[in-house]
Amino acid sequence: MAMMAMTIRNSASRRTMMSRPIFGSRSMSLFSLILVPTKLTLVWEHIVMIIGKPVVLDCVREAERRIAGTSFMEYLPMGGSVKMVEETLKLAYGDNSQFIKDKRIAAVQSLSGTGACRLFADFQNRFCPASQIYIPVPTWSNHHNIWRDAQVPQKTYHYYHPETKGLDFKGLMDDVKNAPEGSFFLLHACAHNPTGVDPTEEQWREISQLFKAKKHFAFFDMAYQGFASGDPARDAKSIRIFLEDGHHIGISQSYAKNMGLYGQRVGCLSVLCEDEKQAVTVKSQLQQLARPMYSNPPLHGAQIVSTILGDPELKSLWLKEVKIMADRIIGMRTTLRDSLEKLGSPLSWEHIGMFCYSGLTPEQVDRLTSEYHIYMTRNGRISMAGVTTGNVGYLANAIHEVTKSS
């Protein structure tokens, strides 16, 4: 028992050290404890407005009002809310998708995007035990944890070019080409986390064609639908391109960000199958995997989503609010870049997107924390959702001060 306890402690220590720079758990803990007149967190992905507090969308408030007092408190089926799943598929595959009409999609409600990824990873491990997953460098760090704990071997592929602060398209295509035929690849559908760098539409078409030639399987993580452009349909373009080219794909969807339902843990996992019969089989297996994990997904978040997307008026309001949130991020991005340039920053900031993979060194990040009480992950990733009109000037000046000698 003593040996086991020591092993657990050592393992936990290693995992904590590995996760701190990415998740920013240390930064978030410090942020909540330190009492200073001016402090700023760029770790969280909550959309905040001028007052600096997370937003509850008007469409969500109205949906909550409509479902308040409901007497239905029973378990959802293992596959979740049928209505929520149906509406969610339309966002990814299209309102008039033939795949939906032909019932070729196996889909279940998931515990947000993390749960969708984990469920698919376990599905991959069970039914393709000799396979591995190719993950971009960099990526959301939890991707590595998810596939690791599902016991799926991982490899990486080039994505971000640190010198150009843009997409390493050649490196990406070379890795896709050199991967064994029929490999699994994790792709960010839009608003790549943590870099904010996405392929162009033409690049997506080239990627899709190469995937087709190599018979690769694409699994899309779409955690930020609507935030890249302000238009959920446009942000699903990468997926639509793969569908047009005849791929079988998997998709993880989440409402944490684009509806602000962070704590409700509501999302969807879908897999496009050969036909309806295969889709029924795959869905059955996904439900069997969910059974020992959590049995049934939560009810309340699914009710909110289905109420909003199932009502034309509320859905229209939601689309407007998504556009407002995306425009705010774009506006803050422009203001931050302009402010840095006006200060005479020697660095280029044209790469700032939904996220800013700033290029700040861990030492510069530490200076921002210790001298300016600005908290972010030590890899320099800035969530633009935390930048407001009230703090953008302070942030720009602090970044300039710690980078001006670079």
Catalytic residues: 140, 221, 257
DSSP 117-141: HHHHHHHHHHH-TT--EEEEES--H
Proportion of the chain in helix, strand, coil states, percent, rounded to 5:
50, 15, 35
DSSP 155-174: EEEE-EETTTTEE-HHHHHH
108 strand-pairing partners: 269
φ, ψ (nearest 5 deg) of residue 295: 65, -65
| Residue 264 DSSP code | G
Q: Where are the alpha helices (DSSP H) in 267-358?
A: 276-293, 300-309, 312-342
Token duo for residue 240: 């639509």
Q: Residue 239's closest CA among 218, 215, 212, 269? A: 218
d(CA 280, CA 271): 11
Q: Residue 115's closest CA among 378, 302, 394? A: 302
φ, ψ (nearest 5 deg) of residue 214: -90, -5
d(CA 158, CA 215): 19
3-class SS at 357?
strand
> What CA–CA distances, in Å, run from 83 to 46, 87, 96?
26, 6, 16
d(CA 118, CA 105): 18
d(CA 106, CA 100): 10
- Judge if the upstream peptide bond of residue 199 is cis by omega within 30 degrees of 0: no
